[in-house]
Amino acid sequence: MSGVDGSAAFDALRRAMAENAEEPEGPARNARAEQLLAEAEKLNIPLAVIEALGHQLKVYNYSSEKAKMFVPFARLLRMWDESPEDFDEYETHSLHWVFKWMTTGMLDQPHIPLAAMEKWLGEMEHRYRLAGHSERAVRSAEYSVAAHIGDLERAERAYAAWLAADRDAMADCHACELHEQGWWQSQRGRDAEALDLWAPVLEGAFTCAHEPHAVLASSLKPLLRLGRLDEARANHLRGFRLVRSMESMRGAYADHVEFCALSGNEARALELLAERPAYFTDDGHPRSRLDFTAVVALLTDRLTELGLGERPVPGPAGRSWTAAELAAHARGEALALAARFDERNGTAHVSEQVRARMAQRPLVERLPLGVRAVRTVAAPVPVPAAPATAGEPDLPALVAEARRLSDTLRPNAVEAWAAVARAAEGVELDPRDRAEVADHEAMDRGPEGLELFERAAELYAEAGDPGEALAARARAAYVRALAGEVDAALAAVAGPYDEVLALYSADETGVGQTASVLMSRARILMRRLHESDDAACLAEAESAVREVLALVEGRAGDDVRLAARVAEAQAMLAEQAARTGDLPAAAELFERAAAGFVAAGVPWFAVEYEARLAGLLHHLGDLDGTERALRAALEHGGSHLEAVGRAQLHLQLAEVVGGRGLAGEAAEHALEAAHWADEAGQGPTLGALARHQLGGFLLGLGRWAEAAEVLEAALPDLSAERHGEGTVVQTQWWLGDCLSELGEHREAAERRLQAAEIARHWPEQHDHATLAHLAAESLGAAGLPAEADRAYARAGALWRELGHVHGLVRSLRARAWLALRTQEGADAARQLMADAVRECETALGDASADEETRQRLVGELGHTHRQFGDLLARSVPEDAEDDSIRAVLEEALAEVVEAVVVFASLGDGALDARTGAELAAGWLAADLSRPSEAAARARAVLDAYGDAEADDGTAQSRRDEARRLLGLMEEQDG
């Protein structure tokens, strides 16, 4: 092959290798690298083969086929030993660099003898010394070997020598070194020290192809052990996003599965297993397979322990698996792999580590993650501990405790009486005890308890308590109302009502029994009021409630039941006030009712009314009062709140707190809302809405990766029918913003276009235009100029229809820059930028525009002239004639000077924009060999910032640039 042809073919080969390097990790990329090596061998250029072997080695290393990398390395080393002159400076560096991969990579392959590893370690040390490299990388590799086989004394010595040696060109990058150093500290039980070492990587100070991915994964257990749960959650969401698509990071992926298994997120762990079926069987890297199978055993053992051993789970392809079956299979695989390593190493260290990993216990019961989750096992229902002796249950003690709980309205009274019933089997209770057992069982059954209420009434009467018998009958009547039989309930309560009043007037029953009947009647009338807003119904309900208050108010004393009657009556009056539209009075009464329950020592009854109060106050615009009511409801509900109620309160509080700009606290409440919605089985409804909010708050906090994970988890459950189109669009919009910040521009464009398609049908088109514009930005950033231009054109047309000049002008400018990137696009770019100038000038000619609008338009015109100048300056072809270059630069200077004039007309408000344009004009003048004009521009900038504060970063930056320009021009004049 001729020299010219060979050079061109070599260049094409290099381009092909560069393109392949950008492809996703996996067998396809590896196969392409093998093809490229075959093509390189045809060129008869040694360096081409060297580079192709290096490329092949690298793609193998970053894949599941790591075992293949030893062959190309051996060939490279042989070529180096035979003809080192064939290697250029970069390939010489690369050969020594990958020596580290080979030495430590052998640890991951149990078929490679330990003696071979020690030999390669010595070979590495020898070659590094000959090349003049520090022993830092050598000692790091020695530490890895010693740590792997469990020689802790040697590992500590090598670790210390590693850190003591100088960093040079062969040292691993800072991020990778810190990861390994932190990992060792964590293994030695020093979690806090590990996290201190990892901090620069976690904060983004040091990064590389696999960092912070690996550090985020390694940090999860230490954070759980230290109780730093918020950080653990964040690192899981952020880190899993990074490793999800990276085939070579099976070990880090396993860390995320393990984290879920140890934090009560078993269901999510199963989802992670399902995403990567090949991880069960890929055998090119036995060490990461060992990590993965050990974690699978840990997870499935945990599921079996929870009683879910028969649950279907994802597993190796070819058959279906239950959790118990997969647990046994994974444990066997893990132990067999560990045994192979130990046989090679001559120690039991790997097996001991694997057994310890599989035997771990959860570090927290449940750590809410914010993403979709389903409980793998039902949440335990708290049952009050009943006093009992070592032998038979102490029945009198059970009765006394149950009566205490019911007399003081404790939440577990019903369960306590059920315990009495169980303990009393075969024992004859007195009528009063049997009455209370039946009464509470009836309360527990609801509409199905009517006959039991009647039985309780008979027993109360038999026990000599006619008032309580009437109260039981009244409770039965109210249960009818709850079942929708309001008229029948009113008829049923009429007799007990008349009879109890007669008994009370004759001093044959007490206030408590009478109040119970009156309250049941009032409740029934309130149920009727829910079905009808008739004034007569309202008046009768109000009269019934006030009758309760007249009887009880002022007589409660220490009687919890009577105090609760007063509070409930106040709440009924509040509801009546709300129905008549007197919202301030309703709010005051709800607040009084809640305070009454709290004062009575039964704050959990206040929760419903505090939630109602919050809604009223929010409607009245009292956001401080709304927040206080919601916080009180959460506090007073405590552990007695049902999951769905807790979710709703947290969700409302997130909205209120977020509205005050407290995004951090709002995110915490939204996270809690999502968790409790999932617990209540409302993940697809209430939970999706909570995740939507959580994602928005995380976005506001700049936590892009976490927000993206949460929003992606919310989207499958969000629907226009359930949650409204606005919620779906906003979620897509936020997700597009996150993906854009993460550099995932193609995906960001997809989300923004999906949102724009929904908004396209809305009467008001501003959101549609904005989303089309944002999608265009993403398409441009993704390297899709034609698609971006179409999206900008669509956005521009919408901005024009809306009369939004700024959006239209910006879309034209963006299209101009895109056009410049295409072949022969300079003319189109010029025309688009000229159109943008004309649109600004036309809008400024509108005499109806107010001064503020005019000022904004003038600023837009200035920026357009400035960009026009920049565009012209960059449009000059490199091979253009000098006269052509000069003519274009003259045009560019004219546009930038016009920008200076326009910005100057805006005064101090546009100072930074003016000085930026002034400097651009100065540099263009310098390029046109006009040093005096350029110097004058520089001096103008220095004068403009003569009084600038020392902490004004923009001013100092502009002054520094102006001094540089002025110095260069003065040198030329000199």
pLDDT digits (tens, 9 = 90+) for 539-577: 999 999 999 999 998 888 889 999 999 999 999 999 999
Q: What is the mean pLDDT of residues 893-920?
A: 95
User: Each residue of 468-492: b (16+ CB within 10 Å) or e?
Assistant: bbbbbbbbbbbbbbeeebbeebbeb
Maximum CA pair distance of the chain?
A: 124
pLDDT of residue 290: 97
Contact present, 898 and 913 (Cβ < 8 Å): no
pLDDT of residue 99: 86
Q: Which residues share a beta bridge with 321?
A: 313
At 767, list the tokens: 């959101």
Sole residue written with tokens 């930026």: 916
Contacts of 698 (CB under 8 A, 6+ apart): 667, 706, 707, 710
Contact present, 198 and 219 (Cβ < 8 Å): yes
Torsions phi, psi of 264, nearest 5? 75, 20
Contact present, 313 and 273 (Cβ < 8 Å): yes
Distance CA 671, CA 703 (A): 14
How far does CA 516 lie from the centroid of its chain? 50
Whether residue 815 is predicted with pLDDT greater than 90 in this model: the reply is: yes
Q: Which residues share a beta bridge with 211?
A: 208
pLDDT of residue 850: 85
Whether residue 381 is predicted with pLDDT greater than 90 in this model: the reply is: no
| Nearest Cα to Cα of residue 496 among 521, 474, 468 | 474
Whether residue 855 is predicted with pLDDT greater than 90 in this model: the reply is: yes
Q: What is the mean pLDDT of residues 341-362?
A: 97
pLDDT of residue 385: 44
At 394, list the tokens: 């102490």
Residue 496: asked if its preceding bond is cis (omega within 30°), the reply is no
Distance CA 317, CA 296 (A): 15
Binned at pLDDT 50, 70 and 90, residue 447 comes out as: confident
CA contacts within 13 A on the Cβ side of 842: 13
Whether residue 10 is predicted with pLDDT greater than 50 in this model: the reply is: yes
- pLDDT tens by residue, 101-143: 888 889 999 999 999 999 989 999 999 999 999 999 999 999 9
Binned at pLDDT 50, 70 and 90, residue 974 comes out as: low
Whether residue 344 is predicted with pLDDT greater than 90 in this model: the reply is: yes
Distance CA 814, CA 867 (A): 10
Measured at the alpha carbon of residue 699, what is the angle toward residues 697 and 703, in degrees to the nearest 5?
110
Binned at pLDDT 50, 70 and 90, residue 798 comes out as: very high
Binned at pLDDT 50, 70 and 90, residue 386 comes out as: very low
Average pLDDT, rounded, for the chain: 92
Binned at pLDDT 50, 70 and 90, residue 376 comes out as: low
At 325, list the tokens: 């079956």
Q: What number of helices (H) and strands (E) belong to the chain?
A: 46, 2
pLDDT of residue 298: 98
β-pair type (321-322, 312-313): antiparallel
Q: What is the mean pLDDT of residues 268-295?
A: 95
Q: What is the mean pLDDT of residues 511-517?
A: 95
Q: What is the phi-psi region of residue 454: left when phi exceeds 0, alpha when psi lies from -120 to 50, beta otherwise?
A: alpha
pLDDT of residue 534: 84
pLDDT of residue 66: 83
Spell out the SS3 assignment of 834-867. Answer: HHHHHHHHHHHCCCCCCHHHHHHHHHHHHHHHHH
pLDDT of residue 388: 42
Torsions phi, psi of 265, nearest 5? -115, 50
Whether residue 401 is predicted with pLDDT greater than 80 in this model: the reply is: yes
pLDDT of residue 531: 84
Distance CA 686, CA 86 (A): 66
Torsions phi, psi of 754, nearest 5? -65, -40
How far does CA 954 lie from the centroid of its chain? 34
Binned at pLDDT 50, 70 and 90, residue 914 comes out as: very high
| Nearest Cα to Cα of residue 813 among 752, 895, 745 | 895
Distance CA 174, CA 104 (A): 18
- pLDDT tens by residue, 599-652: 999 999 999 999 999 999 999 999 999 999 999 999 999 888 999 999 999 999
Whether residue 387 is predicted with pLDDT greater than 60 in this model: the reply is: no
Please state, for a pLDDT cut of 70, what percent of the chain lies above it. Answer: 97
- pLDDT tens by residue, 58-89: 999 888 888 888 899 999 999 999 999 999 99
Distance CA 387, CA 914 (A): 82
Contact present, 815 and 809 (Cβ < 8 Å): no
264: helix, strand or coil: coil
At 23, list the tokens: 């492809």
Q: Write the DSSP symbol of residue 67.
A: G
Q: What is the mean pLDDT of residues 656-679?
A: 95
Q: What is the mean pLDDT of residues 519-543?
A: 92
pLDDT of residue 394: 87
Q: Give me the DSSP letters along 746-770.
A: HHHHHHHHHHHHHHTTSSS-HHHHH
pLDDT of residue 530: 87
Whether residue 849 is predicted with pLDDT greater than 80 in this model: the reply is: no
Total-model pTM:
0.85
Whether residue 47 is predicted with pLDDT greater than 50 in this model: the reply is: yes
pLDDT of residue 821: 84
Contact present, 636 and 598 (Cβ < 8 Å): yes
Binned at pLDDT 50, 70 and 90, residue 862 comes out as: very high
pLDDT of residue 3: 52
> Which H/E stretch holds residue 582?
none
